[in-house]
Structure 1
Amino acid sequence: MIGLVLAAGAGRRLRPYTDTLPKALVPVDGDITILDLTLGNFAEIGLTEVAIIVGYKKEAVYERKAALEAKYGLKLTLIDNDKAEEWNNAYSLWCGRDAVKHDVILANGDTVHPVSVEKTLLAARGNGQKIILALDTVKQLADEEMKVVADADKGVQKITKLMDPSEATGEYIGVTLIEGSAADELADALKTTFERDPDLYYEDGYQELVNRGFKIDFAPIGDIKWVEIDNHDDLAKGREIACQY
């Protein structure tokens, strides 16, 4: 198993930080960045290799690659997304389709979360699941969240931001365990998704899989502190909680 990080996004709402850096390299605890936290989590659960999808300001990631490898004891492979500033992340995850064949834990490059999330996903393996989403079933939801309707037996039924929050089982936090056996089907669903509309999310690719009859499972992460960093308010919250891990 390897780690996979989507770190190609521009994060324009986080300017001026993202004038020179991709969102994943915005600092949240001194010199510690969002990417640092994710790589630290991956190292703690015993992963030795991580693929990182890069795009916007990718030079900054390339410049830090050797130092990050040395710091976390990881081999990093950087995968270029040539449409990072034009298309949404359904295409970005598709760019990592070969990495997925190794079994991966996927983490969005803007999610600050404790290593308990990865441990929860690993603990949920072993009963034939091919894709397991980390789901926050505690948080009060609003319009912006990636909401999920899920059933313990049938798995994920619906995943979208465009849903009445009261209908949702919880929020997908941007971390997924994907078994290599799902790689080809996922890649095809993602390709169908971004060819339909390049502005769609990879979660729309998950919905495409569900619509095809593919079962996507989920694992509740419990009452933990985490945040998806989209703007400066989120960044302030991320800085509040990152130092607690």
Structure 2
Amino acid sequence: MIGLVLAAGAGRRLRPYTDTLPKALVPVGPEGEEDGITVLDLTLGNFAEVGLTEAAIIVGYRKEAVYERKEALEQKYGLKLTLIDNDKAEEWNNAYSLWCGRDALKDGVILANGDTVHPVSVEKTLLAARGDGKKIILALDTVKNLADEEMKVVVDPAKGVQKITKLMEPSEATGEYIGVTLIEGEAAAELADALKTTFERDPQLYYEDGYQELVNRGFKIDVAPIGDVKWVEIDNHDDLAKGREIACQY
């Protein structure tokens, strides 16, 4: 099993940082430390802590910044890194971005969005949930009060995920998908096909829409509740402030 990070996004709401950096390289250390720790650092650190030795990073917008740091990141975290280019990062949404990493999926991956600040307990929870024929396991926050923007999930205890979308009444949801998934290698081909169907239908769809496509085909996707842990998806400057508060606690 390897790590896989989606780090191709532009993150325009985080300008001026993202004028020159992809969102995954926006600093989340103390304010003013512009060369400090990033979301990518935190994620690679988590991968290393749970014993992974390799990771792939899907890059696109301002990818040269990740290429420049590749060797230093490898040395810092003891991971062999492979960078995968997304040629449509500024045109299409992340269903296509994850499809670009379809070959990496064959090894089995822990997938992490490049904008999610979260503790290593999330990866540990996913790894502990493996087995019993589970092929895809989503990290689910069942504690947080949900609003319109969250990626909401409805789960049937026996059948797994039934619905995953932002376009749902928050009161209907079991919880929020936090942007971290364990994907076993045996699910790679079916997931890649579902992602291809999804972005061919609409290039602006999310990879979570690919998960929904799988569910609609009868594929079982499981969840692992992460408990009451602090995490944040960084979309804007308010989120960045929260990310800095959380990151300093790890």
Q: Normalized against structure 2, the TM-score is what?
A: 0.97
> Residue 48 of structure 1: CA displacement?
0.3
Structure 2: tracts of 5 or more residues without a match? 29-34
What is the distance in 2 between the residues matched to 1:107 and 1:121?
12
> Residue 151 of structure 1: CA displacement?
1.6
Q: What SS does the corresponding residue of 1:236 show, helix, strand or coil?
A: helix
> What percent of counterpart residues are identical?
91
What is the distance in 1 between the residues matched to 2:230 and 2:122?
10
> Residue 237 of structure 1: CA displacement?
0.1
**Number of residue equivalences:** 244
> Residue 100 of structure 1: CA displacement?
0.3
What is the distance in 2 between the residues matched to 1:107 and 1:153?
26
Confirm whether residue 22 of structure 1 aligns to residue 17 of structure 2: no
> Residue 114 of structure 1: CA displacement?
0.1
1:13-42 Cα distance to aligned partner (Å, 9 max, x none): 000000000000000093x00000000000
What is the distance in 1 between the residues matched to 2:145 and 2:13?
23
What is the distance in 2 between the residues matched to 1:13 and 1:220?
29
Deviates more, 1:41-50 or 1:21-30: 21-30
Q: What SS does the corresponding residue of 2:98 show, helix, strand or coil?
A: helix
> Residue 126 of structure 1: CA displacement?
1.0
1:103-123 Cα distance to aligned partner (Å, 9 max, x none): 100000000000000000000
What is the distance in 1 between the residues matched to 2:157 and 2:132?
13
What is the distance in 2 between the residues matched to 1:116 and 1:152?
23
What is the distance in 1 between the residues matched to 2:156 and 2:142?
12
Equivalent in 212, 216, 219 of residue 221 of structure 2: 216
1:183-231 Cα distance to aligned partner (Å, 9 max, x none): 0000000000000000000000000000000000000000000000000
> Residue 162 of structure 1: CA displacement?
0.2
Structure 1: tracts of 5 or more residues without a match? none
What is the distance in 1 between the residues matched to 2:8 and 2:106?
20
> Residue 152 of structure 1: CA displacement?
1.8
What is the distance in 1 between the residues matched to 2:226 and 2:51?
20
Cα RMSD over matched residues?
A: 0.7
> Residue 83 of structure 1: CA displacement?
0.1
> Residue 8 of structure 1: CA displacement?
0.1
